[in-house]
Structure 1
């Protein structure tokens, strides 16, 4: 079954217009999920809104949005008023500029989507735009209305298609200074830095997403399986971490361990990382 598009519209570059479709590139749907139940009856629970003062349930038709202007003081917005604030969409992803990829900090990245041509007739224009970006080594900044919001998206070539990543607005990205302001300047000894660089060199590798497992989700899946099979669940005991007292000694020990690992690679351990992923069953 072909994937369902989240959005369909047009990619516009100057006078070039290409029908495109947007698809989810990253999803959390495969994670283990739970429902809240009544322990006594086993029945599933449902949420309902209640008045904070009276404690009585409020019907859906009586629920309105409000903006707090002061303590317990709100401006009420009716559904029609909220709808009026939603920007009109012409279904156009309008490219504003082409920039070098390194100009934009990853902090601004929000959510990635696959961008593909919508239909065979759109492929020639789509490929022309994609190849032009590849040859110039640039990415595109475009503006569009996605899911009731005006969004800026970063578009870049990816294999045979394009990736459109929604970007955070400037006010959504917190200042690094407020988190790093208490980090003091320390003069490092030459040997310390050399050892640190040596450790980094021995740990050098390549990013392979298949080697990174969601251990928490895997543990939940195993726990659910054990429950279904009636097996006893063993509690996990975290390993005790030793305190680093002497930084120089810790660096020397780490450098020594790094040498051993690079000198004698473990074929058994490498084989273990290639085991097939266990099938998961959603709880609920």
Structure 2
């Protein structure tokens, strides 16, 4: 069994419930040691007296506040003496509707359990009351010389404690981000296509379907270096979608999402498992930018190549013709597949 990270008394009204708090989450980050390059010698951090250069034992280290002209020493028991509730009380101030607590306030999650079988009835009573009311208890408590604002929730038959950020810890996005959209306008056509993409990519929330692919790649890298094998590099980051090419990107994304093979068909995958944007979108964008600068037509169906053989067209021009011909699945096709699809469209029109 895990050891509790805190124990004390939960109080609501005149009811007291001795509880223990346990960490609810774990990290699977790959841990590295520090070595001196060229050796197998570990490098460790030491607490050193900066005046003498000598290492200081942990029990000789005290906290001190720099008051400018002197250091003010503070002992651990002095901090405990001034802590609200002497660090052992979790007092619920009141209960709020869960939907009123914005996600940005949530920080870390803990499990809360009764401190002994004799307290299970009070524990169960509070859990059922919170479930029926769909509310969370807001409280404060002190742990390890820090005071925390927390939300007490009922989840799947037990009580959970979520530490919250204080209001003055939440940064104003308008102070942090220079290029917020503000009153930027979008066209009805763009909005309709964007909504269609959101609807097409709708999934059920199943957290077990997601896993940390980067940590898997780190482990694979370590194993490859250990055995002397080569390591495959990840895909480069996707290029930004130009505003001029937004509709093409949206339309191609919807087409790809509709493929029965699921979310991207045969498109390439990046290291995080997500599909990279179709190459033809970038090709089409580059083609239009070049044409815009020269005053030439931007589509593959322009006068200069209207009757040109399909084999002589660029991939961007082929994709434009496939779009005009409403070729299904064109967003995930390579150049050769676009040529074959367009030839098939021509044969179908000729025989119909």
Structure 1 length-normalised TM: 0.80
User: Aligned residue for 1:77?
Assistant: 72
Compare the two structures and name the one with the higher helix fraction: 2
Cα shift at 1:227: 3.8
CA distance in 1, matches of 2:53, 2:43: 15
Alignment of 1:120-131 (within 5 A): 120-131=117-128
Aligned pair count reads: 256
User: Aligned residue for 1:135?
Assistant: 132
CA contact (8 A) 1:19 1:117 kept: yes
User: Aligned residue for 1:248?
Assistant: 247
User: Aligned residue for 1:197?
Assistant: 195
- In structure 2, stretches of 5+ residues that fail to align are 266-352
Q: Match of 1:89, SS?
A: helix
Compare the two structures and name the one with the higher strand fraction: 1
CA distance in 2, matches of 1:34, 1:215: 18
Alignment of 1:4-15 (within 5 A): 4-15=3-14
Q: Match of 2:86, SS?
A: coil
Cα shift at 1:4: 1.5
Alignment of 1:122-271 (within 5 A): 122-180=119-177, 182-183=179-180, 184-228=182-226, 230-239=227-236, 241-245=238-242, 246-258=245-257, 260-261=258-259, 264-266=260-262
Please give the root-mean-square deviation of Cα atoms over the aligned residues, in Å. Answer: 2.7
- Residues 249 and 42 of structure 1: is their aligned pair in 2 closer, same or farther, counting only changes over 3 Å? same
CA contact (8 A) 2:141 2:148 kept: yes
Given the alignment of the two structures, is residue 60 of structure 1 paired with residue 47 of structure 2, yes or no? no
Structure 2 length-normalised TM: 0.65
Q: Select the structure of larger CA radius of gyration.
A: 2
Q: Deviations over 1:22-54 (max 9, x none)?
A: 1101122x32101101233311111235677x7
- In structure 1, stretches of 5+ residues that fail to align are 270-284
Deviates further, 113-122 or 196-205 = 113-122
